[in-house]
Structure 1
Amino acid sequence: MSGADHDGWVRTARDGAVLTVTLDRPDRLNAQTPATWEALAAVGSSLDDDVRVVVVRGAGRSFSAGLDRSLFSTDPGTAGGLGELGRLPAEEAQERIRRYQAGFRWLRSPGVVSIAAVQGHAIGAGAQLALACDLRVLTEDADLRLPEATLGLVPDLTGTSTLVELVGYSRAMELCLTGRPVGAAEAQAIGLANAVVPAAGLEEAVGALVTAITAAPVGASRETAALVRSAVRNDPDSQDAAERAAQTRRLTELVGGR
């Protein structure tokens, strides 16, 4: 197993085909800053073809309590704060947010399946990071919340598209506008959580899921993941065509290219 530390309180460890990404700021409940998002984006840009599964977790008792409170300052002198961002020209502000979003969007990169291991709170940016992953395993004490609208903001770290994919239009609308917490049991019932386990069983449950995913042949696993992702947006004819093309590639490989 190999590991690396990154700026922004992000730590990585590699074990074969599995990359674990840990938010490592437990004394602040893994509160995030722009440096966190840039570090996450750097991890994504450095992925190699041998990585099949990415596990995202938070050190300590919470996955992530969201945006670091210091960044809520409207003081233009707070580097990376909302005040500084709000005073930028619109195009420059949007470009900066686009770079931040890159720290989340790569978790659905072709070739990898991502799993969020969520304990305690996943609030705001923390919830959006969990939503950015393909799969989520929650502990029984976990809750997710998107309070941005109640703070005069919007979820802007890829959270709206991923939430609608998971729970549908009307439920996503309710959760985003009310900012109410969603406990683990409800999260599983509405499709936000793939599994809910006791806190002591989180590592084992995630490990079992990783083992099951990596047991399938790599080519079939990657083609299938790509099909499931495209099914969210494709019309039936386009998706049928994607399935035909993927199966043809699989059959060609299975018979050795003959």
Structure 2
Amino acid sequence: MAVPAAAESAAAGLRVEVVGPVATIRLSGPGDPGSLGGLGSALDDAQRRMGGDVRVVVLRVGGQASSGAGTPVLSPGAAGYAPFSLSFPSSPAHADPAALIEGYRVWRAALDRLTMRADLISIAAVAEVTGDVGTALAVACDLRIFAADAGLRPVWAHGGLLPAAGALTRLADIVGWSRALDLCLTGGRPLGAAEAARLGLAQRLVPGPRLDDEVDTVVAGLLAASRAVAAEVKALLRGARPAGPPVVSTRAAGPTRAAASAGAGAGADHRDLPDAEGEAWARTLVDLLDASGGVAAG
């Protein structure tokens, strides 16, 4: 069945379906910078509305335009290379920086809620090469299953914005800062599935036609463990490897000691920079709009 407010989620570019203990979230639309607020609100609302029976969330990643405007992205210096245009909400002639910064904050909070919740295990099923928003969703999940021809290709840096849609520091935690820098700034080849598996970003790598079967197998394995044990394990493991500051406090249904402490342990920021990524997003956004005279490129 669909969760309540499904129409609102679909309008924002998310489709959410719940069957027993498994929720499936599908991202549609271009996944451009101006959509972050709507996507974040829809994702957060979907998580809040999931009943206590939901234990696993599967995010279907792939399908949105990698550039946000349909412009091919090529390596700098290559024939035909040109920075892509960024799409913003409402009037294409004027963009409201405050609204876009707030939209980013809402999006980041929804991603962090997905990462931090000890009572919910999230799986990204990456079906194809995906852009900045798809990269952020995949990195926010606990587990990632890639089709063999899938990959991540964040490209917003070549349009003047911070890349990876709120997942930059967590991406660096997983693959290392040098590889994250190469992926996000060169704008060339995507991080393919095989390389993602070698780096530990992808836990499973399967041929495209087997992606759904592999997801079902992983979901069944997760559900075989009791809810209490799964929550304890996730909370303890997240606490063992900090990956960013908590933006929202979360409470598991039927809390355990480890689940109750997940927000403090999992969210400790070893860089001592409470929201450096959010501040960088605001600076690059304002710089981009200033350079265009307050007019969104497009």
TM-score of Structure 1 vs Structure 2, range by shorter chain: 0.7 to 0.9
Specify the code of the residue in structure 2 equivalent to 1:208.
T
Q: Quote the residue 2:128 is aligned against.
A: 120
State yes or no: 1:64 paired with 2:36.
Answer: no
- Supply the distance in 1 between the matched residues of 2:178 and 2:42 (Cα, whole angstroms): 33
Q: Which residue of 1 aligns with 2:90?
A: 79
Q: Percent identity?
A: 33
What's the offset of the Cα at 1:233? 2.3
1:104 aligns with 2:104: no
**CA distance change for structure 1 residues 168 and 246 in 2, over 3 Å: closer, same or farther?**
same
Please tell me whether the aligned partners of residues 65 and 121 of structure 1 are also in contact (alpha carbons under 8 angstroms).
no
Q: Deviations over 1:79-123 (max 9, x none)?
A: 2869514xx35xx65333201223322221231110011111211
- Supply the distance in 2 between the matched residues of 1:12 and 1:53 (Cα, whole angstroms): 13
1:197-232 Cα shifts (integer Å, max 9, x gaps): 111101000010011111111111111001111111
Rounded Cα–Cα distance in structure 2 between residues aligned with 1:198 and 1:231: 32
What does 1:71-220 correspond to in 2, within 5 Å?
72-73=86-87, 78-79=89-90, 84-85=95-96, 88-89=97-98, 93-108=100-115, 109-155=117-163, 157-180=165-188, 181-220=190-229
Which consecutive residues of structure 2, in runs of 5 or more, have no partner in the other structure? Answer: 71-84, 244-256, 260-298
Aligned residue for 2:51? 48
Does the 8 A contact of 2:130 with 2:152 survive in 1? yes
Hey, what's the Cα distance between the residues in 2 that align with 1:233 and 1:179? Answer: 28
1:169 and 1:49 map into 2 onto residues whose CA distance is 37
Amino acid at match of 2:198: A
Of 14, 18, 24 in structure 1, the residue corresponding to residue 18 of structure 2 is 14
Aligned residues: 223
> Is the deviation greater in 154-163 or in 139-148?
154-163
More strand by share: 1
- Using a 3 Å threshold, how does the CA distance of structure 1 residues 82 and 69 change in structure 2: closer, same or farther? farther
CA contact under 8 A between 1:64 and 1:121: conserved in structure 2? no
Runs (5+) with no aligned partner, structure 1: 235-244, 248-258
